[in-house]
Structure 1
């Protein structure tokens, strides 16, 4: 097992605490030191902070489950203290703030005027996007640590015990449940469901992706992204904790078990597989799939054949966020609050900025030529990178 894998399994809260996991944390595990910031004496691009706002007390322990949501000229953020805040997209001015008095751990998602958040107690809560008032809440089987997904009629949530549940968007009533299972040892994280048409795509801790009928929960297809390998439980972790990414007729998925795959959206047939391990969401442009791996190496992989286009290790061990494609470039955040602007052609670092001094773990949200970024302490910023010559 590599040092990062050992460290991750020791420091990440586990779904099931077992003796073997605790034992594996001893015995000389090393901590990999983050690489220093690459020198950029004459950056080709410079970051502009368009606005900066306080989104509440911060994401705290469960920062990975919180991602800003943007809709109807507003930015919505949530945090583990139970706060949900709406800001104006144009200038970051606060529109409203509510305290749900719940321990939130994921969200928000925004669907047709409704915000959806998940709680540590296994609830999905629906709030009005207009003023934050509570519409309904629904009890599920366990923690909802990834943001629920929804359509005008249906909400789908994945719980940490491997179940997938569909709820009525208007009332929160249960429509169907798929009871899954999880391995003996798994990472602290789950993928959010992704809805496309009348199908919902879900990544599982077993290393599989399932395509389910949105109306009934019936399985349409299932595909294995990665198979457990190795002798120890830690080596056999294969969770698909990144959201499946749909682009055209392809579904992309990545596993902690060293596999990035492209699948046919119709039947799940694997077109190609590339050896990369990650728990972070993916990003795409017209040519490549982008990923940040377990060691914070950034990869570009060809959509056409799965071959590596480039990899950038200048930011290794800097605990990078998932990548986003903004204005034709690749954007990632790091543990010190820096944003790095990478060339899509060769991965070179062409710009850098620090909107705040908080870790950026959430995937940046793309809005036109700008990005909305969330810090682990609750700071929110809208940024744009412009050519240094402009």
Structure 2
């Protein structure tokens, strides 16, 4: 059955051994405490070269980068850490439905506009529709990536680098595909999307095309290759979101590279070294993303050659970006949304939220730009 689709980072052991978790946590703590973080430069007065208006706002409660808002079928799907899931009317932000799952959420929401799915912190995949729970199933491992709901199925990417398909109506397990990989993984959103009749997942530093009917591997393309002298240095997981235009899928391998593949052929178009840790987005001409220091970069989609770079947003803890029309939107750790020109990165305008970090990428909901903050504010702006 074809399917179609209309900052801090922790490490976890692939086997989830408590000792390994402690080692990873200690390693990151030592790295962060031994280095004083550079402070961002003061921003100049806002340029205000384009007009925007706050269309609506809503409150969901505290969230994190793995709980990115999602737009489907005129609805904005949002969730919070504590277990609330809501479908908001994209026109006015009012609740269409809202439900409490009574358990913390680790990843979500995925939806086709009707069925919505999230993954809880106790490894349960939960499907909902019209404000009621449909089913729950236990997953064999943790997940930090929103489920993909498509073709009356729910697809899940777990932290042990396994992709599993479930029946959307019953929750019955249909198939599972596991790929061997490094023992450590990121507790960060990965890549899972549909391109035509192919399911694409980010597994280690590779984009892998799967048959959605049975999980058979159709192709796999490395965006980056593991290197280094230890498990941390060899970690090159694909991080979400990725940028898809037609059969062109571009993604980032954590702190290693950015690259594009041709999903219709399963071939690598290009890959370039890059040090960023968040996902990318783009249009038919350019791919956009931030580097680890907050430098914001545009690459030519066809060749990977640099188009431009700006450094005025360095050290601001940038989210993954969203390309929309003539601008690119990116959130920061102080709750600002920066709209920059796609042509050269110059500032077009700047938007304010509740002052808490914007960790997940902004989304386009119809004609509105939507972000969700760490404190749970959901904000939507429209151009004037």
Give the TM-score taking structure 2 as reference length: 0.90
Tell me the residue number matched to 2:26: 22
Tell me the residue number matched to 2:108: 107
The range that moved more, 326-335 or 230-239, is: 230-239
Change (3 A) 1:286 1:66: same
Contact 1:40-1:351 at 8 Å conserved across structures: no
- Give SS of 1:183's match: coil
The range that moved more, 213-222 or 185-194, is: 185-194
Question: Partners of 1:361 and 1:23 in 2: how far apart?
Answer: 23
Matches within 5 A, 1:215-294: 215-294=213-292
The alignment of Structure 1 onto Structure 2 pairs a total of residues equal to: 370
Q: Residue by residue, what CA displacement relative to the aligned partner does 1:196-239 show, whole Å, maximum 9, x if unpaired?
A: 222110012x2111111000100001111111222233322211
* 1:314 positional shift: 0.9
Tell me the residue number matched to 1:213: 211
- Give SS of 1:53's match: strand
Contact 1:122-1:142 at 8 Å conserved across structures: yes
* 1:42 positional shift: 4.3
* 1:32 positional shift: 2.4
Question: Partners of 1:236 and 1:285 in 2: how far apart?
Answer: 30
Contact 1:238-1:255 at 8 Å conserved across structures: yes
Contact 1:86-1:95 at 8 Å conserved across structures: yes
Correspondent of 1:35 among 14, 21, 40 = 40
Tell me the residue number matched to 1:84: 85
- Give SS of 1:22's match: helix
Matches within 5 A, 1:177-196: 177-196=176-195
Contact 1:149-1:192 at 8 Å conserved across structures: no
- Give SS of 1:175's match: strand
- Give SS of 2:182's match: coil
Change (3 A) 1:330 1:37: farther
* 1:142 positional shift: 1.2
Q: Residue by residue, what CA displacement relative to the aligned partner does 1:99-146 show, whole Å, maximum 9, x if unpaired?
A: 111221111111151111111122211101x2x100111211112211
Contact 1:198-1:215 at 8 Å conserved across structures: no
Tell me the residue number matched to 2:68: 67
Question: Partners of 1:41 and 1:197 in 2: how far apart?
Answer: 41
Contact 1:322-1:332 at 8 Å conserved across structures: yes
Q: Which runs of 5+ in 1 are unaligned?
A: 1-7
Q: Which runs of 5+ in 2 are unaligned?
A: 1-6, 14-20
Whichever structure has more strand as a proportion of its residues is: 2
